[in-house]
Amino acid sequence: MFLKNITSKIMLILMPVFFSGCGIYSFTGGQFSGAKTFSVGYFKPQAGLATPLYAQRFTESMKDLLLAQSPLKLSENDGELTYSGSIVDYSTAPVAIQSGAAETASLNRLTISVKVKYENKLEPDLGFERTFTKFADFDANQDLFSIEESLWGLINDQLTQEIYNASLGNW
């Protein structure tokens, strides 16, 4: 009984040490440098085929991911962590060519590249400016315009997660 009480007291004393770790860390997997707010600027469409609608959807996807995966609060203009940038590539290309009398594509690929400027006002050395690229393949018999928004969802999920990992995941 005496040993059990001592073990319990030692665990209570050591518990905060186990969870404090080194630096500021969250169970969501991000390193936030003590920041409490973030802001995401509108990602301007600078690629010929990128539309303002896609740019808005990407911007909102970035906000949604940060709200869902971090304890940070959204600040419309002046967050301690800021994301801004532009859509620099939005293109389709055939990727699986079928040979035969008439060479045709069986798959096409939508590729989107986003140039991101990440600023950490609390630790400026952690900031970066980098381009992220992701793609999704689709059947060449499908009309791009009929499936484009579902492809946006797939690509945005990958892009935003990679941006999050690069900026806050310390990967």
Q: Is position 97 within any domain?
A: yes
Kindly state whether residue 9 falls inside one of the protein's structural domains: no
Better-predicted residue by pLDDT, 14 or 79:
79
pLDDT at 106: 83
Asked if residue 18 belongs to a domain, the reply is: no
Residue 117 lies in a domain: yes
pLDDT in tens, 22-61: 444 444 456 788 999 999 999 999 999 999 999 999 999 9
In the chain, the number of structural domains is 1
pLDDT at 27: 42
The residue among 155 and 77 whose pLDDT is bigger is 155
Per-residue confidence (pLDDT) for residue 28, from 0 to 100? 44
**Would the pLDDT of 90 be above 90?**
yes
- Per-residue pLDDT tens for 101-116? 566 778 999 999 999 9
Q: Residue 50: which CATH number?
A: 3.30.160.150
Host domain of residue 48: 30-167
Answer whether 162's CB lies under 8 Å from 67's CB: no
Asked if the structure places residue 20 within a domain, the reply is no
Residue 146 lies in a domain: yes
Mean predicted confidence (pLDDT) in 131-137: 97
Task: Report yes or no on 7 lying in a domain.
Answer: no
In a domain, 16, yes or no: no
Does pTM top 0.85 for this prediction? no
Tell me the per-residue pLDDT of 144-170, one tens digit each, with 9 for 90 and over. 999 999 999 999 999 999 999 999 986
Query: For the chain, what is the mean pLDDT?
Result: 85
